[in-house]
Amino acid sequence: MKRISFIKICGNIAKHSFARLSKTVDEICEVLKANGTTIDHQQGYLVVPEFYEWFHTNVFSYHSSAIAEFLNNLRWGLYDYLRPEFARSFTKDDPALIAYRYIFPHDCNTAVARNMYWDLMNAVRSQPYMPRFEVTRFLKMRY
């Protein structure tokens, strides 16, 4: 089973009542059928609690540390990639003042683009809150 599938199914189970889980139950039935077990729609409703417990409590909890590492690596990667652009564009006319500005790239000339650029550079002014970390390889080996 693909990781994205069980995360999506567990998310739907967590946020919807049984009355809104018809499509999710169909997905569970398809997953089981693809793995050699055929059940009908009513039986699908009966396996929802067990499916959720197994994948959310066991499998997802197991993956949560690795997912946190991956997301943190993405944040640091964006920070590292944008830092040279921040260094190029950030300027203070008077070091004694708090005021600062950015020197926009030449092709950044619409109000929307400049606003988005400003917000992006402001996000790069300080390092990400979470330091770089790596989880043990044993939390990446199963499932």
- pLDDT tens digits for range 70-105: 999 999 999 999 999 999 999 998 888 889 999 999
Picking from 45, 50, 47, 39, the residue whose alpha carbon sits closest to that of residue 19 is 45
- The residues, any chain, with a CB within 8 Å of residue 118's CB and separated by 6 or more, are 102
Residue type, 131: P
Whole-angstrom CA distances from 39 to 17, 18, 24, 36, 78 are: 21, 18, 14, 10, 45
Q: Where in the sequence is the domain holding 58, given as residue range(s)?
A: 3-139
Rounded CA-CA distance 76/124 in Å is 10
> pTM above the 0.75 mark?
no
**The pLDDT of residue 141 is above 80:** no
Q: Which residues contact 76 (CB under 8 A, 6 or more apart)?
A: 128, 132
What is residue 141's three-state secondary structure? coil
Mean pLDDT value across residues 19-41: 93
Give me the pLDDT at residue 130, please.
95
The angle, 0 to 180 degrees and rounded to 10, between the axes of the packed helices 3-15 and 41-52 is 100
How many domains are contained in the chain? 1
pLDDT exceeds cutoff 90 at 18: no
Segments in 16-110 forming alpha helices (H): 22-34, 41-52, 61-89
In the predicted structure, residue 136 carries a pLDDT above the cut 90: no
Q: Helices then strands (H, E): number in the chain?
A: 5, 2
The region of weakest confidence among 13-17, 35-39, 91-95, 136-140 is 136-140
